[in-house]
Amino acid sequence: MREFQLTDTPADIVKVYPKASDFFKNAKVDFCCGGDQPLQTILDKKKKPVDGQQLISSINQSFQKWKEAGNKEVNWDEVSPSEVVNHVMQHHHHYLNEELTPLSQFVTKIYRVHGANHPHLEELYKFYHQYKMEMEGHMIEEERDLFPLFEQYEKNPTEALKNQILNLNETMIQDHEFVGELIQKMNEVTNNYTLPEGACNSYRITYERLAELEHNTYQHIHLENNVLFKFVS
């Protein structure tokens, strides 16, 4: 049975076992924008030491249980680019199109009602709306300009198409870094979505939905950077 090693990259581990992202998040290991180096190399650069052996064995134990529960790994290397595009559309773009506006109302509401006593809610309000605007524009570009090229390339892989895709991928990766930083800032100002004492229902719902947004965004960026964009290199 497969066991992950410290020589594997976080990107490859999450490709096989998506839930490993929770372990990386807790250990503050980036698996989406900077997850393309061996795990040990990433850990060696960390200022605050992380026990690599313990981390990898926790991931392996959880992976084992996940498989025993009947889950099957997806081999992304055998999936076609258009299947990855469909997956991204269904699980990430669709989710964001449904979620960003209602969540904006919650973020705005808690800022209006509690901002005077909790000044970090103003920062949250600003970072969230920057994220929303950036992500909406970014998804339009992906759906209009980039994703159709992957479908064309699958049928007819020309050099010209390849160069067009490579150029666009570069721009998209930069956007991902920017939205990834905004997600990180939202996490920091809310202390990882820790509610203050006596928080009202709206506060709780907002933080829960933002934590879900963070989780979904990291998976989204990971799939594009480490799976979809890697089809053309």
Q: Which residues bind Fe ion (CB under 5 A)?
A: 142, 224
Minimum distance from residue 42 beta carbon to Fe ion (Å): 22
- Is residue 162 a contact partner of residue 153, using CB atoms and an 8 Å limit? yes
Residue 56 neighbours by CB under 8 Å, 6+ apart = 4, 5, 6, 39
Ranges of H-type helices in the chain: 10-16, 20-26, 39-44, 52-68, 81-88, 94-114, 120-141, 147-155, 159-189, 201-223
Question: Closest-CB residue for Fe ion?
Answer: 224
Radius of gyration of the chain (CA): 19
- Helix crossing, 159-189 with 201-223: angle to 10°? 150
Q: Which is nearer to Fe ion, 56 or 179 (CB)?
A: 179
Minimum distance from residue 100 beta carbon to Fe ion (Å): 13
Minimum distance from residue 135 beta carbon to Fe ion (Å): 8
Minimum distance from residue 96 beta carbon to Fe ion (Å): 8
Q: Which is nearer to Fe ion, 10 or 180 (CB)?
A: 180
Minimum distance from residue 177 beta carbon to Fe ion (Å): 11
Q: Which is nearer to Fe ion, 12 or 142 (CB)?
A: 142
Residue 225 neighbours by CB under 8 Å, 6+ apart = 11, 32, 33, 36, 173, 176
Q: Which is nearer to Fe ion, 30 or 142 (CB)?
A: 142
Sign of the Cα pseudo-torsion (34, 36, 40, 41, in order):
negative
Angle ∠(214,112,101) on CA atoms, nearest 5: 45
- Is residue 110 a contact partner of residue 203, using CB atoms and an 8 Å limit? yes
Q: Which is nearer to Fe ion, 107 or 139 (CB)?
A: 139
Minimum distance from residue 40 beta carbon to Fe ion (Å): 28
Q: Which is nearer to Fe ion, 190 or 226 (CB)?
A: 226
